[in-house]
Amino acid sequence: MTATTRETSAGPAAERFDPLLLAVLANRFDSVCREMTNTLLRAGRSTVLSVARDFSCSIVTADDRLLSAPEGLPVHVFGSHLATEAMRELHGDRIADGDAFLHNDPYMGNTHAADHTILVPVIVDGEHLFTAVAKAHQADCGNSLPTTYMPDARDVYEEGALIFPCVRVQRDREDVDDVIRMCRRRIRHPEQWYGDYLASLGAARIGERRLKEIVAKYGVETVRAFVEEWFDYSERRVADALARLPSGTIVGSGAHDPTPKLPDGIPLRVEVRIDAEAGRAEVDLRDNVDCVPAGLNLSTACSINNALTGLLNSLGTEIPCNAGSFRRLSVLLRENCVVGTPRFPTSTSSATTNVADRLVNATQAAIAESGDGLGLAEGGMSMGPGISVVSGRDRRHGEENVYVNELVLQSNGGPASPRADGWLNFGTPVIAGMMYRDSVEIDEQKYPLLVRSLRVLPDTGGAGEHRGGPAQEVVYGPLEDPMTVIYTVDGKVNPPRGVRGGGDGSPASAERIGADGVRSELPAVSVEVIEPGDWIVGTTCGGGGYGDPFARDPERVARDVREGWVSERAAREQYGVVLERAGRELTVDLEATRALRGARGEGS
């Protein structure tokens, strides 16, 4: 049964979609995405996919509306419709059952060149109904340097990546050999690339199969009716959430750290307009600097994705993230803007990190300042040595064997919210904690490196009623041959900020420990060659705090001290909590704590 009838105050009975079936089908489509995700995770060859999970799967309707992406990274999926638009515009009525397309063109709706997106049209009885989308970050994409992020690249030609503007890569479910040969020739580890390609393709084909099964079971008309009702329901949910926010215009700001190419950094301005009565929100990014001669410009997809992420982070976890919700949310962009629509051949090599993280932070922090209990603090955003691309020679598998891969050995501290502390394994703002941290043992098994230490650093999360997530430090180095490490530290000069009285998170850094044990500072953006016997050190940012630290429950402060995340000195100086030790026991001295906190109140 697809519809029931009900009497309305307007008179005649009105039809509506069966709410039970609505819930069943919504979860069924989400389960298809989850099966796609599990397929890619289990089949991926590089650890950036099979361990760190730097990929996303989604389902888009044939008319380019995001329907489902329950476990996707926000930076990947909110703009999925832009990729399918490119497919339809380029291929139109030539799209056929059995086709698959490879798309990584950042000027035609993709995020950046390193995100290879597989698009599989789902065609039933000759009609295109959906597109199964699998976007996977590559270990190598053919750049002129062995990295997928080139923040100093002046343009796409200096990047050197292979660009595929929605190219047909399968016809009748068979590879187009011309495309495969090109990738095998240009990508540094061809077998690793091909394994990851097959994993992405397999995930999309699983999605295609399951979507056809849904249509066969429920019928085309029922599925169409579900899609429209689900979008309408999602729109109502986001309108209701926006109605609880104060109306007005909020201006947020931020700044990317200086780089060798950009000594003044990149300032960022975000204008958020909320109309609670109408249930609408708008993020205006047009008042920002023009595109810069470096790889830090955002693609159109990343500008939209990350502005929406900052908004949705502030609206609650119950909001469905789909085209229905997006009807009430708009992002205003302009051409040739660092957070807008870049003109070819402007470089967008690092579009999914760095400035993108700053955009999420600026949006959610602006909303936080509009009222208590709203928004979030800023999350850590560094892509330093512990989240870098490493490459070199691996003689364990032959003299000529090379390796290249992105490591995700550590995480930045997460932003505190009005209800919770920042997450320890948050990652970066654009991924919202959806990626995994590498397994040290697997990295050491697959690549010729040794991780000497990985630890949480105390007193690094911004103090607050809710504390920012702490920073992490990793120390690693090569086994037998030199290792090239390419990274981009941000948050060293402008660390994550707290909101509503919360403290700032700690800054990021990069260092080298020589064979003689001497520790020296490294540039924030660099290509470093680490010799055997040397070590590279990456320290991420701590997350910003939310609210007055003196309002934090003293028992939670004591627990943080027991865990080693906050020192006894910081407990006293930053939180006004006095602790007593009796052997190995640590307790709160409530009377001394009240006196210390009260003294601050009298002093103010």
What pLDDT, on the 0 to 100 scale, is given for residue 8?
Answer: 34
pLDDT reported for residue 1? 38
CB 358 within 8 A of CB 264: no
- pLDDT value of residue 4: 39
CB 251 within 8 A of CB 144: no
The boundaries of every CATH 3.30.450 domain in the chain are 16-232
The per-residue pLDDT for 399 is: 74
Instruction: Report the C-alpha gap between 133 and 100 in whole angstroms.
Output: 10
pLDDT tens figures, 430-450: 999 999 999 999 999 999 999
Mean pLDDT of 271-296: 98
Query: Which class is 16-232 in CATH?
Result: alpha beta
> Within 13 Å and on the Cβ side, how many CA atoms surround 551?
14
DSSP at 430: T
Assign 397 a pLDDT band (cuts: 50, 70, 90).
confident
Q: Smallest Cα–Cα separation from 310: which of 350, 367, 353, 264? A: 367
Cα separation, 385 vs 528, whole angstroms: 10
Q: Cα(54)–Cα(35) distance, rounded to whole angstroms?
A: 16
**With 80 as the cut, is the pLDDT of residue 2 above it?**
no
Confidence at residue 486, expressed as pLDDT on a 0 to 100 scale: 98
Q: Which two tokens stand for residue 104?
A: 């990584």
Predicted confidence (pLDDT) per residue in 548-589, tens digit: 999 999 999 999 999 999 999 999 999 999 999 988 899 999
pLDDT of residue 601: 67
122 - beta bridge partners?
A: 130
Mean pLDDT of the chain: 95
Percent of the chain past pLDDT 90, that is, above it, reads 94
Q: Is the pLDDT of residue 316 over 80?
A: yes
Partners of 121 in the beta sheet? 131
Pairwise CA distance, residues 498 & 501, whole Å: 7
Model confidence pLDDT, tens digit, residues 73-108? 999 999 999 999 999 999 999 999 999 999 999 999
List pLDDT tens digits, range 345-387. Answer: 999 999 999 999 999 999 999 999 999 999 999 999 999 999 9
Helices (H) and strands (E) in the chain, counts: 15, 24
Alpha-carbon distances of 159 from 259, 289, 466, rounded to whole Å: 17, 22, 41
Give the bridge partners for 528, in sequence order. Answer: 485
* pLDDT value of position 603: 52
CB neighbour class for 359 (10 Å; exposed up to 12, middle 13-18, buried from 19): buried
Helix (H, G, I), strand (E, B) or coil at 546: strand
Whole-angstrom distance, CA of residue 14 vs CA of residue 8: 7
**What is the reported pLDDT for 100?**
99
Mean pLDDT of all residues in 483-503: 98
CB atoms within 10 A of CB 108: 22
Tell me: pLDDT of 544 over 60: yes
Residue 602 pLDDT level (bands cut at 50, 70, 90):
low
- Closest listed residue to residue 67, CA positions, set 28, 10, 100: 28
Record the tokens describing residue 43, joined without a space.
Answer: 């089949």
Give the model confidence (pLDDT) of 165-210 as tens digits.
Answer: 999 999 999 999 999 999 999 999 999 999 999 999 999 999 999 9
What's the pLDDT band for 600 if we cut at 50, 70, 90? confident
Which is more confident, 7 or 524? 524
* Residue 436: alpha-carbon gap to chain centroid: 11
| 125-151 residue pLDDT tens | 999 999 999 999 999 999 999 999 999
Write down the pTM of the prediction.
Answer: 0.95
SS3 (DSSP) at 13: strand
Of 322, 173, 360, 350, nearest to 237 by C-alpha is: 322
Phi-psi label, residue 585: left if phi above 0, alpha if psi -120 to 50, beta otherwise:
beta
Residue 7 has pLDDT above 80, yes or no: no
Instruction: Work out the number of other CB atoms within 10 angstroms of the CB of residue 534.
Output: 17
Q: How many alpha carbons lie under 13 Å from residue 563 in its C-beta half-sphere?
A: 16
Distances (CA, A) of 559 to 419, 564, 589: 17, 9, 14
Quote the tokens at residue 573: 């100086």
Residue 454 burial by Cβ neighbours in a 10 Å radius (0-12, 13-18, 19+): middle
Strand 280-284 with 329-332, pairing: parallel
E runs forming strands in 223-300:
248-256, 266-275, 280-284
User: Are residues 430 and 298 in contact, defined by beta-carbon separation less than 8 angstroms?
Assistant: no
What is the C-alpha to C-alpha distance for residues 198 and 102, in angstroms, rounded to an integer?
A: 12
Evaluate if residue 15 carries a pLDDT over 90: no
Residue 82: what residue type? Answer: L
Tokens 């709160």 correspond to what residue? 588
Q: How far is Cα 416 from Cα 548, in angstroms, rounded to an integer?
A: 12
Percentage helix, strand, coil, to 5, in the chain? Answer: 30, 25, 40
Contacts of 46 (CB under 8 A, 6+ apart): 138, 139, 192, 195, 196, 405, 406
- Distance between alpha carbon 166 and the CA centroid of its chain, in Å? 23
Distance in Å from the first CA to the final CA of the chain: 66
CA–CA gap between residue 509 and residue 386 (Å, rounded): 10
Cα–Cα distance measured from residue 275 to residue 222, given in angstroms and rounded to the nearest whole number? 34
